[in-house]
Amino acid sequence: MPAADDDRPTFADLGVPGPLLRVLAADGKSEAFPIQADTLPDSLAGRDILGRGRTGSGKTLAFSIPLAARLMEAAWEPGMPMAEYRRNVKAIRREHLVEREAGGFHPHPRGSSSRRRASSPTRSTRSSSRSRRWRA
C-alpha cells in the first residue's frame, strides 16, 4: 500500500537550499516524490546517483535540483562582473569533470565515447529525399 501524502518528506527535510525551496513553493511544490526523497540527499552531497521511473514520477526535479544548487554556489551577485561569474561556473564544471573521471564514471551506456551513434530502428532506409535528410 503506497504511503499517504502526509508521509512524504518536504524538500526542506531533504536539504534543498532556501532559494530553491522558495522557487519550488512558488510552483506549488513542497513535498518530494519517492525518487526525489531517495536521491536528493546523496546528489546534494555530491555523490553520483542512478534512477529510473515512470513519466511523471519526479525524475526531472530529482536530477535538476542538485544541478541548480551546485550552480548557486557560484551565484552572480549584483555588481559582480559577468566574467568573474563565468569563471566560477567553469571552475565548478572542471571540478565535476575531474571528480567524475577519477571515479571511472562513464555516462554513455556503451562506454566513454559520446560520439558513437546508435541507429534508430524506426527510421526508414529507403532512398527518398526525406531519408537522405535524416542520414545527413
Q: Which tens digit of pLDDT belongs to each residue from 58-100?
A: 999 999 999 999 888 766 667 778 788 788 888 888 887 888 7
Q: Which tens digit of pLDDT belongs to each residue from 91-125?
A: 888 887 888 777 766 555 554 444 444 444 444 44
Tell me the three-class secondary structure of 40-103, residue by residue. Answer: HHHHHCCCCCCCCCCCCCCHHHHHHHHHHHHHHCCCCCCCCCHHHHHHHHHHHHHHHHHHHHHC
pTM of the predicted model over 0.75: no
